[in-house]
């Protein structure tokens, strides 16, 4: 397998593990998916640089609490797309679904993640929302 194809396969395999940890309650496992500092980007929101795992864990606990208050129970994956950009880095785009406890759809979304391979595997170094009606990289229609 060519280097780029191998990295793309690793990126696709990374994302379900990331989502499983996001859905779970093991903060340490979830935070292990990131390299710090990491960056959050999104439209009119200010760029947020998260300097360490403790800060990220606290931010995500708050975010998940807000999501739960709106009915969120878990997040699922519709499709992922991967674009290697260097031998050890790439951009992953995901179409995801947030579900309520009864299985109904709370919302659908699209996000991009910059992933970098480190000694312990792929890590997220940046996350960015792809806000509707924008399609993001590749101009790929949403599901």
CA 60/CA 58 separation, integer angstroms: 6
Query: What pLDDT tens digit does each residue of the chain (143 aa) get?
Result: 589 999 999 999 999 999 999 999 899 999 999 999 999 998 888 999 999 999 999 999 999 999 999 999 999 999 999 999 999 999 999 999 999 999 999 999 999 999 999 998 999 999 999 999 999 999 999 99
β pairing state of 105-118 and 89-100:
antiparallel
Q: Which fold has domain 3-130?
A: Nuclear Transport Factor 2; Chain: A, (3.10.450)
* Full-model pTM: 0.94
């Amino acid at each position: 397998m060519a280097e780029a194809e191998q990295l793309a396969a690793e990126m696709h395999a990374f994302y379900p593990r990331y989502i499983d940890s996001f859905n779970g309650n093991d903060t340490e496992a979830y935070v292990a998916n990131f390299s710090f500092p990491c960056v959050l980007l999104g439209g009119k929101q200010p760029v947020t640089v998260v300097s360490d795992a403790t800060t990220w864990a606290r931010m995500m606990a708050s975010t998940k609490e807000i999501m739960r208050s709106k009915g969120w129970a878990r997040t699922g994956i519709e499709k992922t797309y991967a674009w290697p950009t260097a031998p050890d880095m790439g951009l992953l785009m995901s179409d995801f679904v947030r579900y309520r406890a009864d299985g109904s759809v709370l919302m659908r979304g699209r996000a991009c993640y910059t992933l970098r391979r480190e000694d312990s595997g792929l890590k997220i170094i940046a996350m960015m929302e792809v806000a509707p009606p924008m399609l993001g990289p590749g101009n790929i229609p949403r599901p």
